[in-house]
Amino acid sequence: MIKFIPIGRMFSDIKEEYYGYLDEIYSSDMQFEGEFCTKSETLIQQLTGRKHALLTTSGTAAITTMLIAEGIKPGDEIICINYSCPASTQPVVLLGAVPVFVDIDQHAQMDFSTIKNLITDKTKAILATGLYGDSFDYDAIKDLGIPVLNDSAQSVFCKYKGVENTRLGKMSILSFSTNKNIPIYGTYGAVLTDDDKLAEDLYIIRRNGYLNRDVGNPSHIGLNAQPHADKSAQVYCSLIRANKFQARRAELANFYDNRLADLEIGTRLSPEYSKKNHHKYTIFVNDKIKFRNKMLDQGVECQMHYTYNFSQAQVFGSHQDNGKFPRTEFYINHAISIPCSPWHTDAEAEQIIQAIQNCTTAKDRNIQYANTI
């Protein structure tokens, strides 16, 4: 079986170096933060161009920390994407705020064309999410007078009009996991900002709202998102390999571009303003559930990014018109991701193309949003 992410190969890539770091860490008295936390945060600053970077225990924790630092309170309205990983929106609801959803465009980026109609006196932030390795259109929202908080979990190394996506907005976040551009086992995250005061707040917030047990009462509402020394070393191992990982992702994506064009299989295209980071390679088929099952029979694991329409999820309490999210429905029905990690071989990429050829019919040819409306 060609796995979507061959996790064991990722471990082989870092094993010798990582074990050496663990010996060093477990021989010391430091279990939180420490040398590799500092090294990772410094590297993130260098890679993204942000002045401050603070590790957290997950991307979800990073978004939550960012929202708390912005002062989001119950009843506040936050403009959010309608289609993504649920972690893009869950922290908003956890804090008692109200998500107000916008649809995606044909590229699966947030559609800001009607955003002014959604803004009220309760709107406190735009939680802007880039999907599939591309960026949202920052220029469309930067002058609305509302703070832009950048959910850049999938967008590190993506360029928006030549600018690193993670530099956009008042704050931005990173997510580290097996399927991310900076991969690790499990999950981790980071919050980024250029504001010195916000950086101080973020540091305290990720430590449950207090600096240490000797300072009296907590100064902030916070959460347990303080990074661990051993996990920080894992992040560091991937950070120093980031350029190599990116080069291999791009190589595989270029191979897929050429071969899938010959098969007339529609692929997700990037908006003109965005240079993608190849986080996912996503194609369009007529029925993605049937296609997923056929590919499994061919020995290839695909993933259905995504199957969610947040406006219809009761847990989010949305009262918006569900009929206003047609591109969400298109992606739910047709978009599926094929394996494209730094550890897949050329031979496996060829097998994946052959499997796609075996699993598609005339109904799967040339599917794009514009061709289905």
Least confident of 207-216, 218-227, 294-303, 352-361: 207-216
Two tokens at 177?
């996991």
Give the CA angle between residues 303, 60, 239 to the nearest 5°: 75
- Average pLDDT of the residues in 33-60: 96
The domain ranges of the chain are 7-239, 242-371
One-letter amino acid for residue 368 of the chain:
Q
Pick the CATH number of 7-239 from 3.40.640.10, 1.10.940.10, 3.30.750.210, 3.40.50.720: 3.40.640.10
Residue 219 is predicted with a pLDDT of: 77
Cis peptide before 306 (omega within 30 of 0): yes
Neighbours of 189 (CB within 10 A): 29
Q: How many CA atoms lie within 13 A of 49 on its CB side?
A: 12
pLDDT at residue number 217: 80
* Comparison of pLDDT for 29 and 131, the residue scoring more: 131
Read off the tokens for 241. 């390999």
pTM value?
0.95
Whether residue 152 is predicted with pLDDT greater than 70 in this model: the reply is yes
The predicted pLDDT at position 372 comes to: 52
Residue 373 — very low, low, confident or very high, per pLDDT cuts 50/70/90? Answer: very low
Q: In this structure, what token pair is assigned to residue 174? A: 């990173």
Least confident of 31-40, 317-326, 336-345: 317-326
Residues with Cβ within 8 Å of 353's Cβ and at least 6 positions away in sequence, in order, are: 256, 259, 260, 263
Q: What is the pLDDT of residue 213?
A: 75
Measured CA to CA, the distance from residue 172 to residue 62 in angstroms comes to: 9
Q: Are 73 and 201 in contact (CB under 8 A)?
A: no
Give the tens place of pLDDT for each residue, 237-246.
999 999 999 9
Average pLDDT over residues 188-194: 98
Could you tell me where the beta strands, DSSP code E, fall in the chain? 52-56, 77-81, 98-102, 123-129, 148-151, 159-160, 163-164, 171-177, 187-193, 274-275, 281-284, 335-338
Compute the mean pLDDT over every residue in the chain, rounded to the nearest whole number: 95
The β-bridge partners of 335 are 284
- The 10 Å Cβ neighbour count of residue 254 is 11
User: Cis peptide before 21, with omega less than 30 degrees from 0?
Assistant: no
Per-residue pLDDT, averaged over 172-191, amounts to: 96
Residue 255: the pLDDT is: 98
The values of phi and psi at residue 288, to 5°, are: -75, -25
Q: In this structure, which amino acid lies at residue 335?
A: A
CATH code for the part of the protein at 242-371 = 3.90.1150.10
- Beta partners for residue 365, in sequence order: 265
pLDDT at 360 over 70: yes
CA-CA-CA-CA torsion for 219, 222, 225, 227, nearest 10 degrees? -10
pLDDT digits (tens, 9 = 90+) for 92-104: 999 999 999 999 9
Model confidence at 320, pLDDT cuts 50, 70, 90, reads confident
* pLDDT mean over 294-306: 97
Return the pLDDT at 323.
66
- Confidence band, pLDDT 50/70/90 cuts, at residue 319: confident
